[in-house]
Amino acid sequence: MPAVVFFVSGNGVFMALEEKEKLEKNYAGAPGQGGQGKPGGPVGPGGRGGKDFLGTEPTGALLRKFTIPSIVAMLVGSLYNIVDQFFIGQSVGHLGNAATNIAFPLGTLCIATALLCGIGGASAFNISMGRGERDTAVNYMGNAAVMMVGIGVLMILIVEIFLTPILRFFGSPADVLPYAQEYARITALGFPFLILTSGGGHLVRADGRPTTSMLCNLSGALINVVLDWLFVFIFHWGMAGAAAATIIGQYISGGLIIWNLAHCRSVKLKVDHLRIRRQYAGYILQLGASPCSNQLAMAVVQIVMNNSLKYYGARSIYGESIPIAVSGVINKVNMIFMSFIIGLSQGSQPIVSFNYGACKYDRVKRTYRQAITVGAGIAAFAFLMFQILPRQITQIFGDGSAEYYRFAVRYFRIFLFFTFLNFLQPLTSNFFTAIGKPRIGIVLSLSRQVLLLLPMILIMPLIFGIDGIMYAGPVADFTAAFLCFLFARKEFARPEYR
């Protein structure tokens, strides 16, 4: 697929690195010239972006500049989980894989917080910059950063105190619980830095430095890979070694994000901007609610999924642990595909937000269409891989019994059947958030996870047993994609886009 090659080729990354200085220079020296809008208020025709490069450069070139680093950053975030899954699967076995899947909702909650504050703050920042309101924009950035750290610290306290009941609530079988406890108790210590790395990356990217954001994430991930190999394969520390490698990488990435936020190019962040103010925090939460709600829904679905796999697995030939272990492996693999789609969505966000704030609706529409075209190509490629090579992909994460591989192949081919449509929901829901319409974004974000998939996971197994869990996926995927198509068509039928 040409679209896939375009976005992952070495040449594309090389061009993004070559153009970094031009990108940063243009953004840092481009004051908005629009009229004054209401600080923290909804998007309106506050003014036009003047000479800002987000409103003047070709949208295809901008999409490449912002999307490649964003995709790499998302892949790096996925790398933490994929690498742990690989080393744990090879050294501990399927019980270790099941343990990481049990603990996975904790990481999802961290990402939900990062998206709530990070995308919310970045969207508010870009909209304000598009209006020429720099003083307002810098307050959004400072408030978002402090909110991420504060919530992360609170999550550490909750998890360390209530870890065992939390893991049991997440669906841990008895033989998996000790592995999950060992892993989660250590990784919890990195929550503030995980949140800041993911969410702060959006703020750095909104500052016009997508490559810098990518490199902050990449540095920690590469250190994690090296330390995973050292701690698990050389020192034989097992689950604890993988967890320790993860948080060390997060500390390094988080520290780099902090340094870059303190040295912004387009605004100057001061201590006073770190004070939480209701009008700024409220608008950040409003704009970040859509992507956050999707992650929260994913956490809920994952918890229900684990409990359902445990219950119906015990009543099948697979047992309690195999379905949970397989689900964990396949979810991590699917994260690679979704990293491309979400990275594409996040890369298009500042372009869409700025041009919508500057009333350049033709550029908003063009950016969305270009993102959709690329997303379709990526999704088609992932669909072919999941249907043709399910066993080979599963074997990367350790050996298993005949029942293990049988379940893995069926899960890949059934649950992920409509992968070729799964680009539409993240791109469309985040598009509505980027143009200041978070309510529609929330509806679209929740459509697949809460309104469709969650009920299907609960109802279909009553009829089809454990197979019902697998068939719930394609039903939800197709329906959610169709809803996104309808909302997008209605939006672009408005007069300003013609």
- pLDDT > 90: percent of the chain: 56
pLDDT at 31 over 60: no
pTM: 0.77
pLDDT at 230 over 50: yes
* pLDDT for position 187: 96
pLDDT band, very low/low/confident/very high, at 46 (cuts 50, 70, 90): very low
Cβ count within 10 A of residue 434: 33
Mean pLDDT is lowest, of 29-38, 151-160, 334-343, 428-437, for 29-38
Answer whether 266's CB lies under 8 Å from 129's CB. yes
Is residue 118 within 8 A of residue 144, CB to CB? The reply is yes
Q: What angle do CA 331, 76, 186 make, to 5 degrees?
A: 75
pLDDT at position 44 over 50: no
Q: What φ, ψ does residue 318 adopt, rounded to 5°?
A: -90, -25
**Residue pLDDT, tens place only, 267-313:** 888 888 888 989 899 999 999 987 787 788 889 989 999 999 999 99
12-26, 43-57, 78-92, 387-401: which has the minimum mean pLDDT?
12-26
* Structural contact between residues 128 and 49, judged by C-beta atoms closer than 8 angstroms: no
Which of 200-209, 235-244, 429-438 is most confident?
235-244
Which pLDDT does position 259 carry in this prediction? 95
- Band (pLDDT 50/70/90 cuts) for residue 49 is very low
Give the count of domains, the chain.
1
> What number is the average pLDDT over the span 407-423?
95
Residue 20 above 60 pLDDT? no
Task: Please choose, from the candidates 116, 106, 119, the residue with its C-alpha nearest in 3D space to the C-alpha of residue 80.
Answer: 106
Does the pLDDT value for residue 19 go beyond 50?
A: no
| pLDDT for residue 262 | 92
pLDDT at 33: 35
Q: Mind listing the pLDDT tens digit for each residue in 422-477? A: 999 999 998 998 888 888 888 887 888 888 999 999 999 999 999 999 999 999 99
Rank 12-21, 84-93, 342-351, 408-417 by mean pLDDT and report only the highest.
408-417
More confident residue, 299 or 25: 299
**What per-residue confidence (pLDDT) applies to 367?**
92
When pLDDT is cut at 50, 70 and 90, the band that residue 4 belongs to is very low
% of residues, the chain, pLDDT over 70:
89
- Range of 453's domain? 2-497
Average pLDDT over residues 24-47: 38
pLDDT in tens, 172-198: 999 999 999 999 999 999 999 999 998
Residue 8 has pLDDT above 50, yes or no: no
